[in-house]
Amino acid sequence: MYKIALDLALKSLMRRKTRTLMVIMMIALSLSGLLFLQGLYDGMVSHMINTTIRSDSGDISLYAKQYRFEKNIDYHIDDPEPIQAYLYQSEEINAYAVRLMQEGLVSTAHKSLGATLRGVTLEDERKFGDFYTFLSQGKFSFGPKNQDALIGFKLAEKLKVTLGSRLIFTAQDANGEINAIAFRISGIVKTGNLTIDEGSVFVSMETMERFLTLPNSATQIALRVKDESQIKSVQDTLQKKFKTLDVLRWDELYPLLIQMREMMNIFNWVSYAIVFAVAALGIFGVILMSILERMREFSIMMAIGTPYRNIRYQIISEAFAMALFGYVFGALLGWGFLLYTASVGIDLRYFEAGLESFGLNAILYADIRYYYFFQAFAAVFFATFLSVLWPLHVLKKIKPIEVIQGKML
């Protein structure tokens, strides 16, 4: 019996190609939309996290105890050499960057703003987070005499300075005396991390040590692990090893990122639900239509003795065959979109100003995760299932003869 139903389903699909293709297209398009949306949102979030890790926190950062709360160079790490040596030989650690930071005032002839001066080693930062890729103008260099500086692009805008401009930075040194230092801007960086873009100036480690009269010291040692799943265990090991230091993960240092990610997740789910609802409604509509318009035909079939279960089997087979093809095409299409946006990205320079205040880059890259495709599969088949339920219920209820005589529907 089911062979006949299956045969009829196949013929219905093949011999009403326009309708069949329409349904398949609808499913495919809405599905690819779902996939695309998901990948893009996840891409946005991981991009934000990634730039923060690369530009500042690393996977894990070490600080002297109290430094995080008071931001005072009294709480610095003395003699970071042995720690560096340990990190260097550690199997789990990929790269590290030693930094010496002090808050102060950065000034031009016309304006002064609060900022953080960061003493760094460019070569270490390059290994640590490809820092040079953040350079938007100028050179990734502190000049031949280590007298130049890199500046966050937002800060540069606020101060109205450009490449070659001179700046004065004023701050307390280790002895509590207020000192000033002058430098020329050699490069402007744009990281997507607001703390950096809005309030940081980078100088060489040597310049910084001299300026603060604090040789052989650091306020932060940031590191990258080889395997992200190992972050927690590396943190524990380091904390045990360096009891006098704070050993903190990126998500502990930037709890806002986690909140942001959770917010985005909700946002993601809500938009997913909306697109899904629209798609499901569409699928529901076309499948319902395709059954209702054949109600008379199904009634004739039942009147002449075709068992109801045969017709049910036919309708289910038709719907799920279309869902399957719709899924395959939709998944391929969505995958294509995602591959493209994962590698080439979407240029959102048009909305740039707005997005950067969220810490987003102008070019968005999508993430691709396998679970998208499982989730989409479940979504499509759930929608299809829902859309055959109601017509089947109607079909079971009707008296065929009344439909045939036009007394019903």
CB closer to ligand ATP, 324 vs 404: 404
Q: Is 176 in the site for another protein (CB under 8 A)?
A: no
Q: Which stretch binds another protein (CB under 8 A): 8-16, 143-151, 353-361, 376-384?
A: 8-16
Q: Is 145 in the site for ligand ATP (CB under 6 A)?
A: no
Query: How many angstroms separate the Cα of 160 from the Cα of each of 87, 108, 370?
Result: 40, 9, 46
Q: Is 407 in the site for ligand ATP (CB under 6 A)?
A: yes
Query: Least distance (Å) from ligand ATP to the CB of residue 394?
Result: 18
- Choose from another protein, ligand ATP, none: what does 297 bind? Cβ within 5-8 Å by kind: another protein
Q: What is the CA radius of gyration of the chain?
A: 31
Site residues (CB under 6 A) for ligand ATP, limited to 374-403: 402
CB closer to another protein, 71 vs 396: 396
- Choose from ligand ATP, another protein, none: what does 407 bind? Cβ within 5-8 Å by kind: ligand ATP
- Choose from ligand ATP, another protein, none: what does 17 bind? Cβ within 5-8 Å by kind: none
Enclosing H/E stretch for 181: strand 178-189
**Following CA atoms 60, 54, 194, 157 in sequence, which dihedral angle do they give, to the nearest 10 degrees?**
140
Query: Least distance (Å) from another protein to the CB of residue 379?
Result: 29
10 CA to centre of own chain = 43
Report whether 325 contacts 17 (CB < 8 A). no
Site residues (CB under 8 A) for another protein, limited to 12-41: 12, 15-16
Enter the tokens of residue 291: 């059954």
Query: Least distance (Å) from another protein to the CB of residue 25?
Result: 20
Distance from C-alpha of 232 to C-alpha of 108, rounded to nearest angstrom:
44
Q: Is 109 in the site for another protein (CB under 8 A)?
A: no
One-letter amino acid at 49 equals I
Report whether 155 contacts 14 (CB < 8 A). no
Report whether 267 contacts 38 (CB < 8 A). no
Enclosing H/E stretch for 160: none
Report whether 120 contacts 202 (CB < 8 A). yes
Residues that bind another protein (CB under 8 A): 1, 4, 8, 11-12, 15-16, 294, 296-297, 300-308, 310, 399-401, 404-405
Residues that bind ligand ATP (CB under 6 A): 402, 407
